[in-house]
Every structure is written in structure tokens, then in C-alpha cells.
Amino acid sequence: MQLGRLTTNILGIVLVLILWQAVGMHLGDALVATPVQVAKALPETLTDPEFWPALGLMIGQMMIGYLLALAVGIPLGIAMGRSRPVFTVVKPWASMFIVVSAAALVPLLIILMGRGLLFRTCIVFVATLWYVVVSITEAARAVSPRLLDVAKSFSASDFQRFRFVILPALYPYLLIAARIGLIHALRAMVTAEMFIGAGFGGLLNNAGLDLSTAPLFGLIVVLMLVSAGATELLRRVAGRAAPWYASRTGG
Amino acid sequence: MAHLSVTGISKTFGTVPVLVDQSLEVEQGEFVALLGPSGCGKSTLLQIINGLIPADSGRVVLDGEDITGRTGSGRGMVFQGADLFPWRTAIENIAFGLQVKGVGKAERLERARHYLELVGLRGFENAWPHQLSGGMQQRVGIARAFCIQPSLLLMDEPFGALDVQTRDILQDELVRIWEAEPKMVLFVTHGIEEALYLADRILVFSKRPARVLSEIKVPFARPRHDDMKLDPEFLRLRREISELLRHDLEA
């Protein structure tokens, strides 16, 4: 079963690579570099003295805004899910912010706070926060009222019901929210860096000006690997931390 | 002396009267079944005694203490669907009530282990609820209620969701455990045979609003055996209760 899934995965990737190769050979590497050309250009990209510091800077600075968004978003989401008044007040803002793309906010934030760390942290925070809030809110609303009744039957106090029922019920969803948030944080960070031509986004900008698109595709592939790697890591953490959830969903 | 005294309980949901001026008494070590048609209000009465639902009027006094509208103190509840916490292993579920009371980890796990073995689940300490069958889950539910050593055990159609064979086995198990640790039991059911097989006394309730149609002392000696279900007296009582209920429903 596990092996079969892996085979299907690999088959899917190979098919796309073949399609990509065909399109690339047809259009030429000025438009779409082929996977083979990308693979050849990749070592050069990875050994570029600017590459690793740019990647490190992007991830490092992104983490600040991302962790802040989790620190604010998780409690806010729980409060929204468990308290009618908080939900009524915050929900309209959440619905509005979540549909605004990070790119739309970039010019405004640059005017407000320049192009430094504050700006980058802020754009990541704003772009990530509401996805975290909305996922946690839904999870908190769905906590089983019957299990809360069970706890109450055993004379659990409000705090004990929070600690013994609501928090553990939310646990797997916290890690799901962290995963969703991470994807949005990374996207916002790349968008912001491309606007100001710094870090990894700056490299993407420069690569876009090259004659061949091979280095550009190389950077995009790196970005995909970083994102997929990080979410996979969080998924594994979730599987370890909430085995009852993972073994029930077969994850 | 353990004693439960429920007097003058009334309850209306919206404009629908569910209970009108209901009273009942339970003596030490007595097993009382509340028998009635589905939705008649007997479960509501049980939840009022449990303290999860507030009564409009009336008093619940357990062992001389007025516990009207409060959960906990002296009562252990077994829920219809077991309602175990999915993020706790079998033994942690059983220990839940003790944890709420602030009993230290080593002691509460030791006491939980005793009840886990009493309900025949040795070896399943660390199983997650979803890995257990419905019958095994309800064994954990029973152990969880016994583990806080309540003077009154409340059971809300605990075997209603199980298949017939499992139900028969669990009825015998319940009697065996209860004989090992006798306590007052209020057992809500709509099964006439189940009530006759388990209880010392049966309160037969009318359709909504629930009132006691008849009080039946079950004349069979303990320990009881499966063959008593073929006893002429058993069959006579079964027919009598059945006709009583049918007559009430058609009235």
C-alpha cells in the first residue's frame, strides 16, 4: 500500500517532468528552460556566493513574522471559537483581511515602514495571521460539546475543561494551522523581497532578467523544496505529538 | 447511609413540559431502572440529577447534601456512547475523574489500573479509544465512572448503541462489577428485559411529560443468571410492563 502510493507519486512527478521537457524543447530556454537545463544550471546557482546567505536571510526574517502570527493567531482563534462576543467583533476583520493578498499591502507597508526588517516582519505577520486565526476558530468551534459535558460531569472547572478537553482537541489543528500559516508566510516573504529586490526574492528578480530561464526555474525549484520540506517536517511533528490523531486518520 | 432523594422536579424545554413534579428515592446498594419510551424525559431527569441540566424546580439530595444543579460530588456518570476522550489512552480515560480531583499521577494510574482490570481490559492500558470495539469502549466508560468511587452511579442507556450479544455480555459484566462494589445505581433504559434483568426496582415512566406509571419490585434473587429470562414470572412481568407502556402510548 505504502509502496504503491510512493510509486504513484514518483510516476506523477516523472510525467510532469516529461511534459515540462517537451514544452521547454518546443519553446526554447529563453521562455521555458527544460528540466535537464535546470539541473545543469542548479549547481551554479547553489554555489553562487549570494545564494545561501539570501536563502538564510529570507527564512530567518520570515520566522519572526511567522512565529508572531502563531503567537497571536492561536489564542485569538481559540477565543473566537469559544466566545460569541469575540467572534462577532473579530470575524468581519478576519474575513476582510484573509481575501486581501499580501502583494496588495506591500506598497502601503513600504510607505508606512520603509524596506527594513519591520516591513518584512509585518507583511509576513499580516499575511499569515488570518489563516491561522480562521483555521483555529473553526477547530475551536467544533470541539465536541458532549466531551465538554463529560468533563463537567466529573466536576471539571472551566480551566480544567479548557486544559483537559479544548486544548487536546485542538492539538492536531494547531499543527495544521502552523502548516497552512507557514505556506502563506513563505509566499508573503518572497513577494515582499521581490518588491524591494532583496534576499531570495531579489535573486528571483535578477534571474528573471537572464537570457536563459534555467537559473530562474532553479530558484523556483529550491523554493518548492524548502516549502514542501518544511510542511513535511511539521506533518511529522504532528504525527509524533498527536499519535491518536495520526493513527486514526492513517497519516 | 447512602441515600438519594429527588423531590418535586419539574422541567420545561421552551413551552414543552418534560417533567412535572417528579420524585424518587434510592436506598443504599439499590439498583433502580428508569424505564420508559424514547424521548419521554427519563434521560432529562437523569441529567438533572447529574447536574448537567438545571431543573425549573425541585431538589436533589445525595447522602444528606443538597446537590441540586451541581455536577460532581458523589456521582459517576456512564454515557450512552461511552464518550471517551480520543486523545487519552484507556487507562488515562479511566483516571480522568481522579486527575480532575487533583490526585497525583502515580496514585491515579494505580487506581485506574485496578478498575481497568475489573472491567476485563488487562493488556489494553495504552490502547487508544478508536482501537477498541464499542463494547470495550463502554467498559472503559464504566471503569471511568467507578474509578472515582461514587456513591451513586448514573447510567444513561449505556448499552443502547451495542449489538445484542455484546449487550448481554456487558449486562452480566456490569452486575458482576456492581456486586464487587455495590452502590446506588440509576439506570435509564427503554429495554424491558434489560430493566428486569438488572434492577431491584423499576420505575415505569409514561410518555412525555414523564410521570411514574408504576413501580415494580423485581422479585428475583441475586446473583442472576441468563436462564431467568425464561422464568414464567419474568415473562409475566415483561408482558405486564409491555402492556402498561402500550396502553399509555395509545391513550
Residue A67 belongs to a domain with what CATH number?
Answer: 1.10.3720.10
Alpha helices in B95-231 (DSSP H): 96-100, 105-118, 134-147, 164-180, 192-198
**What does the pLDDT read at residue A237?**
83
What total number of domains does chain A contain? 2
In DSSP terms, A208 is beta-bridged to: none
Site of grid cell 499569515: A128
Q: Tell whether B73 is within 8 A of chain A (Cβ).
A: yes
Domain boundaries, chain B: 1-74+152-159+182-251
Site of grid cell 427503554: B190
Are A55 and A145 in the same domain?
yes
Tell me the C-alpha distance between A147 and A20, whole Å: 51
Which of B236, B211, B241 lies closest to B21 in space, CA to CA?
B211
Are A205 and A159 in the same domain?
yes
A190-194, A205-209, B17-21, B89-93 — which is least confidently predicted? A205-209
Pick from A146, A169, A247: CB nearest B83: A146
End-to-end CA distance of chain B: give it in Å, rounded: 41
Cell numbers that stand for B131 in this block: 482501537
- HSE at residue B117, side-chain half, CA atoms within 13 A, is 5
- Checking A158-164 for CB contacts under 8 A at 24+ apart, the result is A160/B100, A164/B85, A164/B96, A164/B99, A164/B100
Site of grid cell 530567518: A60
Which of A151, A102, A66 lies closest to B101 in space, CA to CA?
A151
Measured between CA atoms, the residue of chain B closest to residue A163 is B100
Which of B38, B244, B64 lies closest to B160 in space, CA to CA?
B38
Pick from B77, B81, B131: CB nearest A153: B77
Buried b (16+ CB within 10 A) or exposed e, B213-224: beebebebeeeb
Amino acid (1-letter code) at residue B158: P
Instruction: Flag if B83 and A147 touch (Cβ within 8 Å).
Output: yes
Angle between helices B164-180 and B134-147 (to 10 degrees): 20
Are A4 and A64 in the same domain?
no
Q: Tell whether A240 is within 8 A of chain B (Cβ).
A: no
Interface with A, mutate which of B85, B131, B149 (most A CBs under 10 A):
B85
Cell numbers that stand for A145 in this block: 460539546
Q: Tell whether B12 is within 8 A of chain A (Cβ).
A: no
Q: Tell whether A151 is within 8 A of chain B (Cβ).
A: yes
Q: How many beta-carbon pairs below 8 A join chains A and B?
A: 62
Measured between CA atoms, the residue of chain A closest to residue B88 is A244
**What does the pLDDT read at residue B33?**
94
Domain that holds residue A12: 1-30
Alpha helices in chain B (DSSP H): 42-50, 90-94, 96-100, 105-118, 134-147, 164-180, 192-198, 232-250
Q: Tell whether A251 is within 8 A of chain B (Cβ).
A: no
Pick from B50, B79, B100: CB nearest A156: B100
Are A18 and A112 in the same domain?
no
Are A127 and A7 in the same domain?
no
Does domain B1-74+152-159+182-251 sit in CATH 3.10.180.10? no
Residues A141, A86 contacting (CB under 8 angstroms): no
Are A70 and A119 in the same domain?
yes
Residues of B in contact with A162 (CB under 8 A): none
Measured between CA atoms, the residue of chain B closest to residue A159 is B100
- Helix H, strand E, coil C: the string for chain A is CHHHHHHHHHHHHHHHHHHHHHHHHHHCCCCCCCHHHHHHHHHHHHHCCCHHHHHHHHHHHHHHHHHHHHHHHHHHHHHHHHCHHHHHHHHHHHHHHHHCCHHHHHHHHHHHHCCCHHHHHHHHHHHHHHHHHHHHHHHHHCCCHHHHHHHHHCCCCHHHHHHHHHHHHHHHHHHHHHHHHHHHHHHHHHHHHHHHCCHHHHHHHHHHCCCCCHHHHHHHHHHHHHHHHHHHHHHHHHHHHCHHHHHHHCC
Mean pLDDT, residues A2-31 taken together: 87
Q: Tell whether B74 is within 8 A of chain A (Cβ).
A: no
Tell me the C-alpha distance between B49 and B25, whole Å: 12
Measured between CA atoms, the residue of chain B closest to residue A248 is B130
- Biggest distance spanned by C-alpha atoms of chain A: 72
List CB contacts of B89: < 8 A, sequence separation 6 or more.
B125, B126, B127, B128
% pLDDT > 90, chain A: 40
**What does the pLDDT read at residue B186?**
95
Strands B16-27 and B184-189 come out as unpaired
Tell me the C-alpha distance between A33 and A39, whole Å: 10
What band does A1 get if pLDDT is binned at 50, 70 and 90? low
**What does the pLDDT read at residue A250?**
46
CA distance A128 to chain B (A): 28
CA distance A183 to chain B (A): 27
Pick from B73, B83, B131: CB nearest A155: B73
pLDDT at A118 over 80: yes
Q: Tell whether A169 is within 8 A of chain B (Cβ).
A: yes
Instruction: Flag if A169 and B87 touch (Cβ within 8 Å).
Output: yes
What pLDDT tens digit does each residue of chain B (251 aa) get? 678 999 999 999 988 889 989 999 999 989 999 999 888 888 999 999 999 999 999 999 998 889 888 888 789 999 988 899 999 999 999 999 999 999 999 999 999 999 999 999 999 999 999 999 999 999 999 999 999 999 999 999 999 888 889 999 999 999 999 988 889 999 999 999 999 999 999 999 988 888 898 899 988 888 888 888 888 999 999 999 999 999 888 87
What band does A251 get if pLDDT is binned at 50, 70 and 90? very low
Instruction: Flag if A150 and B75 touch (Cβ within 8 Å).
Output: no
Instruction: Flag if B72 and A168 touch (Cβ within 8 Å).
Output: no
Residues of B in contact with A154 (CB under 8 A): 71-72, 77, 96-97, 100, 148
Are A138 and A225 in the same domain?
yes
Are A189 and A211 in the same domain?
yes
Buried b (16+ CB within 10 A) or exposed e, A31-43: ebbbbebbeebbe
Dihedrals phi, psi of B152, to nearest 5 degrees: -130, 125
Instruction: Flag if A150 and B85 touch (Cβ within 8 Å).
Output: yes
Pick from A150, A242, A247: CB nearest B83: A150
**What does the pLDDT read at residue A80?**
94
Measured between CA atoms, the residue of chain B closest to residue A152 is B71
Are A118 and A4 in the same domain?
no
Q: Is B75 helix (H, G, I), strand (E, B) or coil?
A: strand
Are A18 and A99 in the same domain?
no
Instruction: Flag if B128 and A244 touch (Cβ within 8 Å).
Output: yes
Q: Strands across the sheet with B57-62, in order?
A: B16-27, B3-13, B57-62, B65-66
What band does A246 get if pLDDT is binned at 50, 70 and 90? low
Residues A239, A251 contacting (CB under 8 angstroms): yes
Instruction: Flag if A155 and B87 touch (Cβ within 8 Å).
Output: no
Burial of B250 (C-beta count, 10 Å sphere; 0-12/13-18/19+): exposed
∠B157-B160-B163 over CA atoms, to 5°? Answer: 155
Cα A63 to Cα A60, A174, A179, B27, distances in angstroms: 5, 17, 13, 64
The ipTM value here is 0.90
Are A173 and A228 in the same domain?
yes
Interface with B, mutate which of A154, A165, A174 (most B CBs under 10 A):
A154
Tell me the C-alpha distance between B248 and B228, whole Å: 27
Instruction: Flag if B50 and A153 touch (Cβ within 8 Å).
Output: yes
**What does the pLDDT read at residue A240?**
78
Instruction: Flag if B100 and A155 touch (Cβ within 8 Å).
Output: yes
Are A76 and A90 in the same domain?
yes
Q: What is the DSSP letter of B12?
A: E
